[in-house]
Structure 1
Amino acid sequence: MTEPLIIHPPKTADACVIWLHGLGADRYDFLPVAEALQESLETTRFVLPQAPTQRVTINGGCKMPSWYDIKAMSPARSISEEELNQSADTVIELIEEQKRAGIDASRIFLAGFSQGGAVVFHTAYLKWQGALGGVLALSTYAPTFSNELQLSASQQRTPAYCLHGQYDDVVQNSMGRTAYEHLKRLGVDVTWQEYPMGHQVLPEEIHDIGSWLAKHLG
């Protein structure tokens, strides 16, 4: 597996954001975002992992960086939960590495765009049982959330910030909203934010993310 890209802060790190890219992208995709956020978050380390290159059924079976296979798009995405769990395990290993490096889990945040966000949701609210600083979910959905979802006390205390484009034609706005509603129903401190954009990231959105992180880092 390709080693994650690590962006060290200008000052001694006491917090960390593990940020997953989307389908077909790579670990450098959010490097400019991490560098921009570090201008104000001077003690926050960013870890940008790389998805494995594997076949994606909906893209004609072509190999590309992907956190899990998407087998079909309709009526809802049919995915490889085995590969999703493998990716979640990779994220958990990165969390453990940051803990061993002296970062308290309550100051470790998971962020993800599109498919990466789906992995982040699955990791934070189904796989990881301890404390986390929070979740940043950009233009994404939660394929493993359902009405039967139950959270541990620690999972329930993990806040989330869901950000989505009003005109997203890749991951429909309603899919992101459904994930938000699940977390809201379960008592999570979750915020929903929309932007006049498609399946992308805007400077205004990054500014809002920086403010949210600063707030939760105290």
Structure 2
Amino acid sequence: MVNNSLSLKHIIRESSLSENAPLLIMFHGYGSDENDLFSFANELPEELFIISVKAPYTMQPYGNAWYAINFDAEKGKWSDNEQAIESRDLIAVFIDEATNAYPVNKHNVTLLGFSQGTILSYAVALTYPEKVKNIIALSGYINKDILPENLKTQDYSHLDFYCSHGSVDQVIPVDWARQTPLFLSDLNIKHHYSEFPVGHGVAPQNFHEFKNWLLKRIS
């Protein structure tokens, strides 16, 4: 079902519960759209209310992005961090809109991101920890340039992260992802980190692992 009444375009799968459902919000990667991760929806627990969001920046000839990635001869590949921060804050507003508009439990919100969607999911959780509970971070990394400066003073005690990466990822180097457990440990944040022998994608065993991880945390 498509709903465009909130600030970000999105599609939904309703929960088997009529109220207070656990909420899962999906954020696709660079150049994709809201239909991409939504293909997981039928395989996920029926009590989940699922929202898959479309990124705000339209790409040509097709696809969408949360922020621009520029290719420059001098700088190499670099991210537009100002756009990324804008998208981070847009998502925070959208979470509030969604928890008000749908019959969900605002204290049981999970973010699921892939690639650029993961980078934003990390940023939202670490900037607005009161809005989320669980984060499934697939094939991404923590971009410290889009995080607040007061990390050490935030309360992250309720957060829980599932992080995974392909060991032969050709888009986002696995070494970037391997820094995540150290970063989260330094903030005393609960987390699980896994690698799978794939490129920039989600292996079947990766899907089953995060699904089982999520099942234990949404009840």
TM-score exceeds 0.5: yes
The aligned residue for residue 4 of structure 2 is none
Q: SS of the residue aligned with 1:94?
A: helix
* Structure with greater strand percent: 2
Aligned to 1:46: 50
Which whole-Å CA distance do the structure 2 matches of 1:16 and 1:2 have between them?
A: 16
Matched, 1:213 2:214: yes
C-alpha distance 3-169 of structure 1, shift in aligned 2 (>3 A): same
After TM superposition, what 4+ stretches of structure 1 lie above 6 angstroms from structure 2?
Answer: 73-76
Aligned to 1:97: 97
Q: Distance in 1 between matches of 2:171 and 2:25?
A: 23
- Alignment partners' CA distance in 2, 1:2 and 1:131: 17
Q: Distance in 1 between matches of 2:38 and 2:158?
A: 29
2:134 aligns with 134
Q: Secondary structure at the match of 2:144?
A: coil
How many residue pairs were aligned? 208
Deviation at 1:196, TM superposition (A): 1.1
- Separation in structure 2 between the aligned mates of residue 46 and residue 151 of structure 1, nearest angstrom: 31
Structure 2 gap segments, 5+ residues each: 1-6
**Following TM superposition, by how much is the alpha carbon of 1:144 offset from its aligned partner in structure 2, in angstroms?**
2.1
- 1:107 is matched with which residue? 108
* Corresponding letter in the other structure for 1:133: K
User: 2: distance between equivalents of 1:169 and 1:31?
Assistant: 24
Aligned 8 A contact 2:91 2:124 in 1: yes
> Per-residue displacement from partner, 1:67-112 (whole Å, max 9, x unpaired)?
0112358988632222112211221122112332353333101110
Contact 1:117 1:138 in 2 (8 A): yes
- State the match for 1:181 in structure 2: 182
Q: CA deviation at 1:151?
A: 4.3
Do the aligned partners of 1:165 and 1:173 also contact (CA within 8 Å) in 2?
A: yes
Question: In structure 2, how many angstroms separate the alpha carbons of the residues matched to 1:53 and 1:87?
Answer: 9
Q: Read off the aligned partner of 2:176 and give its amino acid letter.
A: M
Could you tell me how far 1:149 is from its partner in structure 2?
6.1
Say whether the 8 Å CA contact 2:92–2:131 is kept in structure 1: no
Counterparts of 1:1-218 in structure 2 under 5 Å?
A: 3-12=9-18, 14-37=21-44, 41-54=45-58, 64-72=63-71, 78-100=78-100, 101-126=102-127, 128-144=128-144, 150-218=151-219
Give 5+ residue unaligned stretches, structure 1.
Answer: 56-60
